[in-house]
């Protein structure tokens, strides 16, 4: 499972970037499965720009671990794993290998809207090269660089409990653990 991430000099109109769809909800047979999407690009010399959104009219957002979340997990270079959890109010938690970091380290712009698919909420995140350097020691990601990662849509509130992801093979679906969210695919930096 692999997704191409464009390496660009300047931030393009995000509508021109490919859409990644969160379609796999391995634990949900017929229950609530909100439609979630993401777009991502790598700004050369600057960092990773990520836009995620979910179609939910009233996402659960009480400021606790049961909220409705959009989550980005990644191993950008090496085994260190970053995890960014966003609820409707903004970045809820940012961890590196499970250790809490300041949410201020991840610039985040929240948005809401409505289109022909419905009402949605989402965020624009920027993971700067300086942050990547402090975690991984890398200063720039080159074409061909592989990032292990995934995008998740989750909620642990019993009213709308769901756990979805972008990457999820049949084998991963059989052992899917919502407490770990350890099924990772590959994002490849490409030059187009």
Q: What is the pLDDT of residue 30?
A: 66
Tokens representing 157?
């509130």
Contact criterion met (CB below 8 Å) for 146 and 187: yes
pLDDT tens for the chain, residues 1 to 192: 799 999 999 998 888 888 999 988 887 766 678 899 999 999 999 999 999 999 998 899 999 999 999 999 999 988 899 999 999 999 999 999 999 999 999 999 999 999 988 999 999 999 999 999 999 998 889 999 999 999 999 999 988 889 999 998 888 778 788 778 888 999 999 998
Strand positions, DSSP E, the chain: 2-8, 20-22, 36-43, 47-54, 68-75, 82-87, 90-96, 99-101, 108-115, 118-128, 146-155, 162-165, 185-190
Dist CA 155 CA 115 (whole Å)? 23
Q: What is the pLDDT of residue 25?
A: 87
Q: Supply the DSSP string of 86-139, one letter for each residue.
A: EETTEEEEEEETTEEE-GGGS-EEEEEEEETTEEEEEEEEEEEHHHHHHHH--S
**Domains along the chain with CATH numbers:** 2-8+32-190 (2.60.40)
Residues ≥6 apart with Cβ < 8 Å to 111: 53, 121, 122, 123, 124
Which H/E stretch holds residue 158? none
Q: pTM for this structure?
A: 0.93
User: Per residue in 111-125, pLDDT tens?
Assistant: 999 998 899 999 999
Contact criterion met (CB below 8 Å) for 84 and 125: yes
């Amino acid at each position: 499972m692999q997704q191409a991430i464009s390496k660009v000099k300047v931030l393009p109109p995000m509508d021109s970037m490919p859409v990644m769809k969160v379609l796999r909800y391995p634990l949900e047979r017929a229950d609530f499965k909100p439609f979630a999407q993401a777009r991502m690009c790598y700004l050369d010399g600057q960092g990773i720009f990520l836009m995620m959104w979910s179609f939910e009219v009233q996402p659960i957002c009480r400021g606790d671990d049961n909220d409705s979340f959009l989550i980005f997990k990644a191993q950008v270079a090496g085994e260190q794993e970053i995890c960014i959890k966003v609820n409707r109010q903004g970045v809820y938690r940012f961890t590196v290998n499970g250790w809490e970091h300041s949410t201020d380290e991840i610039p985040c712009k929240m948005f809401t809207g409505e289109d022909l698919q419905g009402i949605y909420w989402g965020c624009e995140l920027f993971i700067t090269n300086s942050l990547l350097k402090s975690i991984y020691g890398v200063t720039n990601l080159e074409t061909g660089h592989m990032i292990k990662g995934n995008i998740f849509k989750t909620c642990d509130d019993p009213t709308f409990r769901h756990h979805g992801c972008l990457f999820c093979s049949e084998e991963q679906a059989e052992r899917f653990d919502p407490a770990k969210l350890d099924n990772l695919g590959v994002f490849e930096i490409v030059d187009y």
